[in-house]
């Protein structure tokens, strides 16, 4: 158990809909990273928040957004969903003070868009 | 443009023998490297990391070697055990930035046969 929780585990929805994925980081970790794993692309970095502020953006679509709340949990919002958005979405947390350390990954949310 | 490459999609070894997983990178800014293991339906689990100031790091049965001039790293598992069967991801980041987003390879599926 990494200490990172993600809900829901599975999500099935239709094209055009909007969903929210939730992540609670490990106690004490200020950084939350979101990654997408699709069949042919491997794990791709989407966005990072550090102590409530956006710190970095990767290949994140404009239809996607995220935020980190004062209690440090984070939500990833996916809107106007397309078939190609079907993927595993992982969040990871780390301390990120003084240099890179291992990121602890949650179990992921499997999104299926029909 | 794949900045981290794992050219072997799969590897099969006998129990008790050595497993060697390889990874190449192209981005000269990467100076911190990690290996993760992933079982189906779980998030990636951190195995071992190495900073570019070292060329070797060892943790129990796992050793990571870094060849900076060749931009190549490898993970050695000795002795291999059936429980090591999983997908192994190589990841890299730049410690000099303000974020430590990980760039992942596409993974190598290791099968350890009893």
Q: How many CB pairs under 8 A join A and B?
A: 67
Selecting from B43, B102, B106 the residue whose C-beta is nearest the C-beta of A108 gives B43
Q: With 80 as the cut, is the pLDDT of residue A41 above it?
A: no
* A39: CB partners within 8 A, 6+ apart: A87
pLDDT digits (tens, 9 = 90+) for A23-36: 999 999 999 999 99
- Give B-chain residues touching A4 at CB under 8 angstroms: 43
Selecting from B34, B42, B49 the residue whose C-beta is nearest the C-beta of A107 gives B42
Alpha-carbon span A110 to A58, nearest angstrom: 20
pLDDT digits (tens, 9 = 90+) for A5-21: 999 999 999 999 999 99
Find the helix or strand (DSSP H, E) in which A18 lies: none
A12 interfaces chain B, CB cutoff of 8 Å:
no
pLDDT digits (tens, 9 = 90+) for A74-102: 999 999 999 999 999 999 999 877 677 88
Q: What percentage of chain A exceeds 70 in pLDDT?
A: 99
pLDDT digits (tens, 9 = 90+) for B17-33: 999 999 999 999 999 99
Contact B104, B89 (CB under 8 A): yes
- Determine, for residues A50 and B99 on separate chains, whether the beta-carbon distance falls below 8 Å: yes
Burial of B22: CB neighbours in 10 Å, binned 0-12, 13-18, 19+:
middle
A34 interfaces chain B, CB cutoff of 8 Å:
no
Which pLDDT band holds residue B113 (cuts at 50, 70, 90)?
Answer: very high
The mean pLDDT value for B5-9 works out to 95
Closest CA to A23 of A84, A106, A111, A113: A106
The mean pLDDT value for A42-53 works out to 93
- Determine, for residues A56 and B101 on separate chains, whether the beta-carbon distance falls below 8 Å: yes
Handedness of CA A64, A65, A68, A69 (dihedral sign): negative
């Amino acid at each position: 158990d990494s200490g990172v929780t993600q809900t829901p585990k599975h999500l099935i929805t239709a094209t055009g809909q909007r969903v929210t994925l939730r992540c609670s980081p490990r106690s004490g970790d200020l950084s939350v990273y979101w990654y997408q794993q699709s069949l042919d692309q491997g794990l791709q970095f989407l966005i990072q928040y550090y102590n409530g502020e956006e710190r970095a953006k990767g290949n994140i679509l404009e239809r996607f957004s995220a935020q980190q709340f004062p209690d440090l949990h984070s939500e990833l919002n996916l809107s106007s969903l397309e078939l190609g958005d079907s993927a595993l979405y992982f969040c990871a947390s780390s301390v990120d003070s003084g240099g890179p350390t291992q990121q602890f990954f949650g179990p992921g949310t499997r999104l299926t868009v029909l | 443009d794949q900045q981290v490459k794992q050219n072997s999609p799969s590897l099969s070894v006998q129990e008790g023998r050595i497993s060697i997983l390889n990874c190449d990178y192209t981005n000269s800014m990467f100076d911190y490297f990690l290996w993760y293991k992933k079982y189906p339906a779980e998030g990636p689990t951190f195995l071992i990391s190495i900073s570019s100031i070292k060329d070797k790091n060892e943790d129990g049965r796992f050793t990571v070697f870094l060849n900076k001039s060749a931009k190549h790293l490898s993970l050695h598992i000795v002795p291999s055990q059936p429980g090591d069967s999983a997908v192994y991801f190589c990841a890299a980041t730049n410690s000099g930035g303000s974020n430590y987003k990980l760039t992942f390879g596409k993974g190598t599926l290791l099968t350890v046969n009893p």
